[in-house]
Amino acid sequence: MAHRTRVFLTLALTVTMAAAACSTGGSTSPQASGAAGGKPNIVLVLTDDLSMNLLQYLPHVQDMAKTGTTFADYTVTDSLCCPSRSSLFTGMVPHNTGVFTNGGKDGGYATFHGRGDDKSTFATSLQQAGYHTAMMGKYLNGYDPKTSGVPPGWNEWDVAGNGYGEFDYDLNENGTIKHYGKTPQDYLVDVMAGKAAQFVGSSAGAHTPFAIELATFAPHGPYTPAPRDADAFPGLTAPRGPAFDTLPSAAPPWLASRTPLTDKEKQKIDQDFRKRAQAVQSVDAMIGTVQAALDKAGVRDNTDIVFTSDNGYHMGEYRLTPGKQTAFDTDVHVPLVVTGPGVKAGATVDQPAENIDLRPTFEALAGARTPDQVDGESLVPLLRGTTPQAWRTVGLVEHHGPDFDKTDPDKPTKNSGNPSTYEAIRGATYTYVEYTDGTKEYYDRSKDPQELHNTAADLPADTAKQLHDTLQAMISCHGATACRH
Angle at 320 between CA 108 and CA 329, to 5 degrees: 70
DSSP β-bridge partners for residue 70 = 337, 348
Cα–Cα distance for residue pair 337/67, rounded to 1 Å: 10
Collapse the DSSP code of 218 into the 3-class scheme (helix H, G, I; strand E, B; otherwise coil) and give the result: coil
**Which residues lie closer than 8 Å to 462 by C-beta, 6 or more apart?**
none
Residues 365, 196: Cα–Cα separation, whole Å: 21
| DSSP per residue, 389-437 | SS--SEEEEEE------TT-TTPPPTTS----SEEEEEESSEEEEEETT
Contact 484, 406 (CB under 8 A): no
Sign of CA dihedral 54, 60, 62, 67: negative
Q: Give the integer Cα–Cα distance in Å for 52 and 439.
A: 28
Distances (CA, A) of 86 to 117, 137, 299, 484: 8, 15, 30, 19
Q: What size, in residues, is the chain? A: 485
Beta-bridge partner residues of 445: none
Which of 129, 37, 74, 20 minimizes the C-alpha distance to 363? 129
Active-site residue set: 81
DSSP notation for 446-475: TT-TT--B--GGGS-HHHHHHHHHHHHHHT
- Of 11, 9, 13, give the one whose Cα is nearest residue 344: 13
- Other C-beta atoms within 10 Å of 46: how many? 26
How many CA atoms lie less than 13 Å away from 248 in the CB half-sphere? 24
